C-alpha cells in the first residue's frame, strides 16, 4: 500500500515502532512452566491489568515566563499533559531559576525536597552528593529502567558524565547538538556607513566600538549609541575573547590564570573611561537593558549568550521592526593577547537531573524518566500538538502552525525538556530545522546561524575553556571551603579595576586579587587541580571530547 501520509508522522511512527520493539525485547521474561495439575493458566487479562500510578514530586525552573492565560509553571497545559500521558502522578515544585541553590538548600534542610530534581549547575548538585542527599542510580536503572538503560548502552558518554568520584552514577543526562552558544554580533550596516572593516584583533575591536559610540552611526544627529555591551553575559563573552577563564592548561598542567584577567580588565577599563559603553552596565544584572538597547538600534557590537532560533524569533524580529535597514552578522572572536579562540559550545552531554536519596517511590521516578526520554514525548514537548501547534513543513519536519500560538502555548516549556535528546532524531532534531524559512526575518536569522557554525566551529582553533563548565571536576568539601569565599572578593577586585580610574589600574587589580588568593590558601586549590589533571583527566569529559562529538555530528 502506497504511503501518501504526512512524512513527519511516518518518521514518528517508525521511531515509535522501533522503540516499542526494543523495549519489549528488553523487558520480555521467559514463560513459566505449564501447571502440572492440568488447570488452565491464569487469564492473560489479569497480567495485563494496568499498574496504578504512584505519586512523585519533581522540580521545574520558574523563570516567570508562563503567560498568565496558561496558568503557572506548576499548573499549566504541559503539567497536565505530562500527568495524563505519563506513568506517574507528578506534583511539580517551582524553583526560581537564578535562586535555585537557596531554594534547594531550604527544601533539603526541611526534609521536603522533591523526589526528582532538575538542575544544571554542578556547584549546586555536587555538595548534595557529598552530603549523601542524592541517590546512586546504578541499581535503580538496572532494576526499573528500559529506555534510559538502553541509551546508556548505546551512548557511553552518558554514563561517563553521570558518574562521580566514587564510581557510581548520580545524574541522568541528555545528548545535544554541538553548536556555539556565545557569539559576537556586529551591525554590518554601521561598519559600511562608517567605512570600517570587521575587527581582526581586540585592539581593532576597541577602535570599531569607539567609532560606533562617537560617530553617529544611526544618523539621528544625537550622541545616543553605545559601541559595545559588556553587562551580564555580554561581559562574560568579552572575557572569553581574552580567554579570561579561571583555569587554563599550560605546559601540560592546569594553572590559575591571571595574565588574561589583567588584559581583559584593562580592555573594559578603556571602554568605560572613554564612554564607549553604558556607564551603568553593572546595574544591568540580567542583561535586559543591553538587549533593549540592541533591539532599539543603539548598540553596535553585541556579545551575547544566544539561542539562535529564539534570537531570530524575538530580538532580531524586534530590531527589524524598529530599524528595518539594520543588518546584523556574527564575526569571529578577534585575536587577543592570549590567542584566538572558538566560543563556548552547547554541552553535548548534559547532566540535568538527580534523585533525592529519600524518594518514596524511586521506581516511579525511573519510569517517569523513561517516559521523558521517549521520542514521542521529546517531539511533543518540543513542537506541541500536531494540527494545533505545528504542521509539516516543506522538509517534512514540524513548523509552527502559528507563531503567536507557539509563543503563547509552547515556547516557554523548555524546562520540561531537560531530559530531551532531540538530536537523536537525525532528520528533524537539529537546531536548524527550528527556523521557519518562509519568514524573511527567520531566514535572515538562519543565515546568521549557518555563518556562525562556519566561523565558530573551527577545529584548528582552541576551545576557550578546559571543558564545558558543567564538566569541571567536583571539588572536595575541604577545597570548596577554601575556594568559595574567595570568588566574590576577587571578582569585585577586577570590577574595581574597571571603574577605578587612573588611580587604580588593571595591573594593581591583578596584584590585589593574587594577594587575596595567596592569603586564602589558593595554593591548595592549585595543587588539587594539578593532581586532578595528572591523575583523572583521562576519565573526564574535556574539550577534546566536545570536539570529537562535534566532528561526529557534522559528519552524519
The answer to whether 510 and 261 have CB atoms below 8 angstroms apart is yes
Q: Is 268 exposed, middle or buried (0-12, 13-18, 19+ CB in 10 A)?
A: buried
Provide the pLDDT for residue 15.
Answer: 45
Residue 403, C-alpha cell as written in the block: 507563531
Rounded Cα distance between 289 and 282, Å, is: 11
Place of cell 568539601: 477
b/e map of 6-16 (b: 16 or more CB within 10 Å)?
A: eebeebbeebe
Place of cell 556579545: 303
Taking only the tens place, the pLDDT of each residue in 172-200 is 999 999 999 999 999 999 999 999 999 99
Cβ partners under 8 Å of residue 37, min gap 6: none
Taking only the tens place, the pLDDT of each residue in 197-215 is 999 999 999 999 999 999 9
What is the signed CA dihedral for 450, 451, 454, 457, rounded to 10 degrees?
-80
b/e map of 462-481 (b: 16 or more CB within 10 Å)?
A: bbbbbbbebbbbbbeeebbe
Q: Is 21 exposed, middle or buried (0-12, 13-18, 19+ CB in 10 A)?
A: exposed
Which of the residue ranges 10-14, 49-53, 225-229, 423-427 would you say has the lowest mean pLDDT?
Answer: 10-14
Q: Classify the C-alpha dihedral 134-135-138-144 as positive or negative.
A: negative
What is the signed CA dihedral for 416, 368, 114, 350, rounded to 10 degrees?
-50
Q: What is the mean pLDDT of residues 75-102?
A: 97
Cβ partners under 8 Å of residue 496, min gap 6: 504, 509
Q: Could you tell me the strand order of the sheet in which 299-305 lies?
A: 226-228, 299-305, 182-187, 328-330
Rounded Cα distance between 159 and 171, Å, is: 9
Q: What is the mean pLDDT of residues 14-20?
A: 43
Residue 177, C-alpha cell as written in the block: 547538538
Cβ partners under 8 Å of residue 172, min gap 6: 137, 148, 162, 351, 352, 353, 354, 369, 419
Taking only the tens place, the pLDDT of each residue in 115-139 is 999 999 998 999 999 899 999 999 9
Strand partners, 391: 399
Provide the pLDDT for residue 49.
Answer: 63
pLDDT at 226 over 60: yes
Rounded Cα distance between 531 and 254, Å, is: 9
pLDDT at 70 over 50: yes
β-pairing, 172-175 vs 299-305, is unpaired
Q: What is the mean pLDDT of residues 147-153?
A: 97
Provide the pLDDT for residue 434.
Answer: 85
DSSP string, 440-455: HHHHHHHHHHHHHHHH
CA neighbours closer than 13 Å in the CB half-sphere of residue 3? 9
Provide the pLDDT for residue 31.
Answer: 34
Place of cell 570587521: 198
Taking only the tens place, the pLDDT of each residue in 273-291 is 999 999 999 999 999 999 9
In Å, what is the CA distance from 9 to each residue of 391, 392, 428? 10, 9, 12
Q: Is 254 exposed, middle or buried (0-12, 13-18, 19+ CB in 10 A)?
A: buried
- Find the length of the chain: 556
Taking only the tens place, the pLDDT of each residue in 32-51 is 333 333 333 344 444 456 67
| DSSP symbol at 315 | I
Amino acid at each position: 500500500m502506497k504511503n501518501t501520509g504526512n512524512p513527519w508522522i511516518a518518521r514518528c511512527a517508525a521511531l515509535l515502532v522501533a522503540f516499542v520493539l526494543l523495549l519489549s525485547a528488553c523487558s520480555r521474561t521467559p514463560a513459566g512452566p505449564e501447571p502440572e495439575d492440568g488447570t488452565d493458566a491464569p487469564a492473560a487479562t489479569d497480567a495485563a491489568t494496568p499498574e496504578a500510578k504512584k505519586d512523585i514530586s519533581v522540580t521545574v525552573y520558574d523563570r516567570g515566563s508562563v503567560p498568565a492565560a496558561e496558568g503557572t509553571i506548576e499548573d499549566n497545559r504541559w503539567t497536565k499533559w505530562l500527568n495524563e500521558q505519563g506513568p506517574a502522578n507528578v506534583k511539580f515544585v517551582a524553583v526560581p531559576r537564578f535562586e535555585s541553590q537557596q531554594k534547594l538548600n531550604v527544601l533539603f534542610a526541611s526534609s521536603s525536597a522533591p523526589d526528582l530534581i532538575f538542575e544544571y549547575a554542578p556547584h549546586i548538585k555536587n555538595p548534595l552528593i557529598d552530603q549523601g542527599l542524592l541517590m546512586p542510580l546504578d541499581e535503580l536503572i538496572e532494576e526499573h529502567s528500559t529506555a534510559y538503560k538502553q541509551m546508556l548502552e548505546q551512548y557511553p558518554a552518558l554514563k561517563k558524565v553521570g558518574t562521580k568520584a566514587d564510581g557510581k552514577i548520580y545524574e541522568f543526562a541528555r545528548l545535544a547538538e554541538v553548536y556555539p552558544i556565545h557569539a559576537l554580533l556586529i551591525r554590518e550596516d554601521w561598519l559600511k556607513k562608517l567605512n570600517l572593516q570587521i575587527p581582526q584583533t581586540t585592539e581593532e575591536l576597541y577602535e570599531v566600538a569607539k567609532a560606533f559610540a562617537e560617530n553617529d552611526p544611526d544618523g539621528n544627529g544625537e550622541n545616543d549609541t553605545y559601541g559595545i555591551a559588556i553587562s551580564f553575559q555580554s561581559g562574560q563573552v568579552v572575557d572569553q575573547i581574552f580567554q579570561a577563564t579561571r583555569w587554563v592548561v599550560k605546559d601540560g598542567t592546569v594553572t590559575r590564570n591571571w595574565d588574561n584577567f589583567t588584559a581583559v580588565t584593562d580592555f573594559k577599563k578603556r571602554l568605560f573611561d572613554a564612554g564607549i559603553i553604558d556607564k551603568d552596565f553593572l546595574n544591568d544584572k540580567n542583561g535586559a537593558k543591553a538587549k533593549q538597547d540592541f533591539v532599539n538600534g543603539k548598540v553596535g557590537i553585541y556579545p551575547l549568550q544566544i539561542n539562535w532560533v529564539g534570537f531570530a524569533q524575538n530580538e532580531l524580529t524586534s530590531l527589524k521592526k524598529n530599524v528595518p535597514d539594520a543588518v546584523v552578522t556574527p564575526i569571529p572572536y578577534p585575536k587577543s593577547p592570549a590567542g584566538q579562540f572558538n566560543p563556548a559550545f552547547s554541552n553535548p552531554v548534559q547532566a540535568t537531573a538527580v534523585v533525592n536519596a529519600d524518594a518514596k517511590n524511586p521506581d516511579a521516578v525511573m519510569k517517569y524518566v523513561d517516559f521523558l526520554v521517549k521520542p514521542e514525548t521529546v517531539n511533543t514537548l518540543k513542537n506541541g500538538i500536531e494540527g494545533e501547534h505545528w504542521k509539516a513543513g516543506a522538509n517534512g519536519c514540524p513548523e509552527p502552525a502559528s507563531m503567536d500560538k507557539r509563543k503563547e502555548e509552547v515556547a516557554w516549556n523548555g524546562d520540561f525538556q531537560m531530559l530531551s535528546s532531540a538530536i537523536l532524531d537525525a532528520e528533524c532534531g537539529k537546531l536548524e530545522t527550528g527556523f521557519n524559512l518562509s519568514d524573511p526575518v527567520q531566514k535572515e536569522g538562519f543565515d546568521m546561524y549557518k555563518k556562525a557554525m562556519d566561523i565558530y566551529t573551527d577545529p584548528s582553533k582552541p576551545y576557550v575553556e578546559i571543558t564545558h563548565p558543567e564538566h569541571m571536576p567536583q571539588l572536595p568539601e575541604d577545597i570548596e571551603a577554601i575556594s568559595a569565599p574567595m570568588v566574590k572578593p576577587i571578582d569585585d577586585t577586577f570590577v574595581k579595576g574597571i571603574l577605578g580610574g587612573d588611580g587604580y589600574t588593571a595591573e594593581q587589580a591583578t596584584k590585589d586579587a593574587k594577594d587575596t588568593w595567596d592569603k586564602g590558601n589558593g595554593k591548595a586549590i592549585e595543587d588539587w587541580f594539578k593532581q586532578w589533571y595528572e591523575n583523572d583527566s583521562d576519565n573526564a569529559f574535556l574539550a577534546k571530547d566536545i570536539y570529537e562529538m562535534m566532528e561526529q555530528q557534522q559528519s552524519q
